[in-house]
Amino acid sequence: MKVLGVSCSPRRNHSTDLLVRETLAGVTGAETEFVSLAGLTIGGCIACLGCVKDNVCKVKDDMQGLRQKIVEADAYVIGAPNYYSMINGLGHCFLERFYQFRHLGGDGVSGKLGIAIAVGSRSGNPVIENIKTFFKYNQIECVGDVSAQGAASCFSCGCGEDCKVGAIHMSFGAGTKITPEITPDLSKQPDKMEKARQLGYELSARLKKSNPVK
């Protein structure tokens, strides 16, 4: 059995990556693999219908190198950040390309299990719902989700304290100084990390139940 964890964040080793990795750390009795989409080129579905007869997308980009990993996995841990109260563009394009599996009875991903992970400056909940929707369309059963708070780019861009349209002003008000105390960090959210690891345990139990040792 194999569990594929995918972080759709364009920033390596930030909150989304860490939360997906923590979920995978809770998986027992199955092989796990972590993939970061950071630096990859993955465009959206172009509705060419080239995948209809064989469930293989014909768009030539980095999604081609991920297809076999997706097919071989028995379950998925998909994590993405919240951009403008929705899943980020890279994450949307990645999941949109699952359209290649929505033919011939959903061969490739239908009937598998998934966990939704989201991180947002205020909330990741809108992204959780986005990922669940993609799961539903592809007949992937969502066995759980976890949403945590992460630091928006405004905390580190160098202009966050003065920018009137940035996350600092929107969340804390004008004149707010960026300090470690107000900067979201997973180390301050042990309950979220624990929930992520627990979801990994629960996913393991479901996989074992679905694939009993003969």
Secondary structure, 3-state, 165-186: CCHHHHHHCCCCCCCCCCCCCH
Domain identity same for 63 and 79: yes
Domain identity same for 125 and 168: no
Residue-level pLDDT at 81: 97
Say how many residues make up the chain.
214
Residue-level pLDDT at 104: 81
Give backbone dihedrals phi and psi of 168, rounded to 5 degrees, phi first.
Answer: -65, -50
Radius of gyration, CA atoms only, the chain? 18
Residue-level pLDDT at 106: 73
pLDDT digits (tens, 9 = 90+) for 104-141: 877 789 999 999 999 998 889 999 999 999 999 999 99
Domain identity same for 38 and 134: yes
Expressed as residue numbers, the domain containing 165 is 153-184
Mean per-residue pLDDT for 206-213?
A: 79
Instruction: Please provide the average confidence, as pLDDT, over all residues in the chain.
Output: 94
Domain identity same for 130 and 142: yes
CATH number of the domain that 9 lies in?
3.40.50.360
Residue-level pLDDT at 122: 85
DSSP-assigned letters across all residues of the chain:
-EEEEEE--SSTTSHHHHHHHHHHHT--SSEEEEEE-TT---PPP----TTTTTS-----STTHHHHHHHHH-SEEEEEEEEETTEE-HHHHHHHHGGGGGSSTTTTTTTT-EEEEEEEESS--HHHHHHHHHHHHHTT-EEEEEEEEE---GGGTSS-TTT-TTSHHHHHH-TTPPP-TTTS--GGG-HHHHHHHHHHHHHHHHHHHHHS---
> How many domains in the chain?
2
With pLDDT > 70 as the criterion, what percentage of the chain qualifies? 99
Residue-level pLDDT at 9: 97
DSSP-assigned letters across all residues of 46-62:
----TTTTTS-----ST
Domain identity same for 87 and 27: yes
Domain identity same for 44 and 70: yes
Q: Is the pLDDT of residue 211 over 80?
A: no
Domain identity same for 58 and 127: yes
pTM of the full structure: 0.93
CA distance 56 to 185: 39
Q: Which residues are registered as beta bridge partners of 87? A: 82
Domain identity same for 17 and 113: yes
Residue-level pLDDT at 214: 41
Residues 6+ apart with CB under 8 A from 82: 88, 118, 119, 120, 121, 122, 123, 124, 126, 127
pLDDT band for 212, please (50, 70, 90 cuts): low
CA distance 46 to 110: 22
With pLDDT > 90 as the criterion, what percentage of the chain qualifies? 82
Domain identity same for 100 and 168: no
Domain identity same for 82 and 132: yes
pLDDT band for 163, please (50, 70, 90 cuts): very high
Mean per-residue pLDDT for 92-108?
A: 91
Domain identity same for 34 and 47: yes
Domain identity same for 71 and 123: yes
Cβ atoms of 107 and 67 closer than 8 Å: no
pLDDT digits (tens, 9 = 90+) for 16-53: 999 999 999 999 999 999 999 999 999 999 999 999 99
